[in-house]
Amino acid sequence: MRPQILTVDDARTVRLIAERALAAYDCDVNEATNGFNALFAMEKVLPDLVLLDVSMPVMGGLELLTMMRSNPALRKIPVLMLTSPADHAVRPQIEELGVSGILMKPFNEVTLVEKIRGVISLNLRKTKLG
């Protein structure tokens, strides 16, 4: 089965970077603009990995991560936190809640894929030769 990856970030640019970075791999990439929308997305498709921004409107990443860790159905889903230098104050909380990695913004596609491959297996898409 193809890995399901959920990108949760209010910045469209970050979601596009993730989509572009993963386009060559055999996986499905879904997105949400905040933690609240991510909960609905996870009801539809349980992800194999969540790329989660710390600072978002409505429901931020720390609140979503806390909810995920207290929910038996979501507790074991690996999370890569997407942080900025301004998030340094909440880093101890993030680590205490248990994440699979932290990726500091700005980042590039290569770094993102390396971090993801450190958590889940990704296979290149098979192309059909004409």
- Return the domain boundaries, the chain: 4-117
pLDDT for 129 equals: 56
| Positions of E strands within the chain | 4-8, 28-32, 49-53, 79-83, 101-104
Confidence category of residue 85, pLDDT binned at 50, 70, 90: confident
User: Which candidate, 95, 103, 5, places its Cα nearest to that of 53?
Assistant: 103
Residue 115, pLDDT > 90, answer: yes
Residues 106, 36: Cα–Cα separation, whole Å: 24
My answer on whether omega of the bond before 47 falls inside 30° of 0, hence cis, is no
Residue 38 gets the label, from left (phi > 0), alpha (psi -120 to 50) or beta, of alpha
CATH class of 4-117: alpha beta
Angle at CA 123, nearest 5°, toward 121 and 125?
150
Residue 39, pLDDT > 70, answer: yes
The pLDDT of 38-63, averaged and rounded, is 96
